[in-house]
Chain A
Amino acid sequence: MREQETAIAVRDLCVRYGQYEVLSGIDFTVPAGDFLAIAGPNGSGKTTLVKTLAGLLPAAKGEIVFAPGIKLGYLPQKTAYADPRFPATVREVVASGIAARKTFPRRLIPHDKERIEDALGLLQIEDLADKRIGRLSGGQQQRVHLARALVDNPSLLILDEPTGALDPRSRECFYSTLLHLNRQHGVSIVIVTHDVHAIGEYAASVLYLDRKVLFHGPLAEFEMDATPQHYFGMHRRHGNHEAP
């Protein structure tokens, strides 16, 4: 049997804010095609971990190795969309997802425009394309930002608590899109979430963190594991392990 390809390998990662060590001895790998949920209590370093993976924070020690040629998509926890006055249309925001790889003279060619339309179509927001981003609901804006993250066809998508501001229906819709990307397009997903339901429903594996890795493995094993039980109180699928 062929060994599964690795999308990210994290080795002995340590991240500090000044003298304060936020993460230490972090070791894990994400196989290509995985749907990994990163969970843990507040202040456990989840956002710090994904920001370090995304290259926004430097590692004090250790290394992060990405598979050769991997293309990263990122959906940050906070984006500028909170400002309703920002004068950008949905199409302009989605187009900014391919800005980095545009070389001089940086014009959008027909192929780019096709990809923008594809991303809008995938997220079912074609009818919002010419609307001002600040006028949309939280759920619609989050779909726009997911389209922006997807427009460059990433093979790995990192999302930091993307559904915090969404109502249950929008959240369900959002996760269904992620699952579709994961299953149909083979996009590896790494998502920070507090959403117990989403972890149970969609994740293939879980990394439970509290400044160090307390659990990393398949969802089925996570549900059997005692470590995070006090925090999650998850609905168990197995009778002997029902949460109180």
Chain B
Amino acid sequence: MFFEMFTYAFVQRALVCGTFIALSCAALGCFLVLRRFSMIGDGLAHAGFAAVALALVIGASPLALAIPLVMLMSLGILKLGEKTTLYGETAIGLVSSLAMACAILLASLAGGFSVDLYGYLFGSILAIRESELVLSIALSTAVILAIKVFYRYLFSITYDEEFAKVSGIKTGLVGKILILLTALTVVLGMRVVGTLLVSSLIIFPAVTALQLSKGFRATILIAMACGAISVTGGIAASFCLDLPTGATIVVVNFLLFAAAFAFSRMRG
């Protein structure tokens, strides 16, 4: 049964798509966690869910509408944190709850939660279509390349934003790039594990890698490996044990974290 599942096209699509999205989520997660901005994934996922609900009400393509809308909202969260006396995480909470309320209202206007909307709430990676697969691979690759190109700037603003600014890095612009990449990745991740669990793809691999590595580049690579292992392991386990895929991916992520945590404690 284990090897048989790899012969199914829908499993192959899920594995490839999930792995690409997990790689970009994990790489971004290292910067977000260390910048104390890890809950942004949760906030943006809720915003994405509202955008998907809107798309389903007006008959638009969910991803085509959600990606630009969530990117805009991500900049809104940044602005809200900068221009008001709100702390960063408070701004996320405000946008997150408002977006979720809007999603519920829109779903109610459309006569209740449809199967498609449930798919984005709890994830439906096994139902990924060919077009979504291509889009996910292309966008995830773009995100990973962007991280590679801006790596030195991203490291600088994450380690010491004040120094980065004095040394001539446009810290505001780099911060915006990071948040836009996150928005893009979160919308893609909603399809894998769902709105409610997408932040786990961002947070878990990063905190797992933090237990194991002493260098920053190594942390990113370990996080990406953990992300990929959790998605492939989660899909395989859910298929073999007949469990919900999104939730199983999160549980595998947790097991990896627990093992890394135990290992780092033993190492001292």
Contact = CB atoms under 8 A, between A and B. Distances in A.
B160 A79 contact: yes
Interface residues of B, number: 27
A104 B165 contact: no
B167 A97 contact: yes
Interface string B207-242: 001100111111100000000000000000000000
Interface stretch (A7-15, A28-36, A81-89): A81-89
Interface string B153-181: 10110011011111111000000000000
A89 B214 contact: yes
A92 B166 contact: no
B209 to A, nearest CB: 8
B149 interface: yes
B152 interface: yes
Interface residues of A, number: 34
B263 interface: no
Interface string B8-19: 000000000000
A86 B214 CA distance: 8
B156 A87 contact: no
A129 to B, nearest CB: 11
Interface in A49-97: 54-56, 72, 74, 76, 78-80, 85-89, 92-93, 95-97
A120 B156 CA distance: 18
B34 interface: yes
B215 A88 contact: yes
B214 A132 contact: yes
Contacts of A55: 165-166
Interface string B90-110: 000000000000000000000
A241 interface: no
Interface of A: 54-56, 72, 74, 76, 78-80, 85-89, 92-93, 95-97, 99-102, 104-106, 130-132, 135, 145, 148-149, 152
Given A87-B210, A87-B219, A100-B169, 8 more contacts: A56-B165, A87-B209, A88-B216, A99-B152, A100-B153, A106-B149, A106-B152, A131-B214
15 contacts: A76-B163, A79-B160, A87-B215, A88-B155, A88-B216, A89-B215, A92-B216, A96-B152, A96-B156, A97-B167, A99-B169, A100-B153, A106-B149, A131-B214, A152-B167
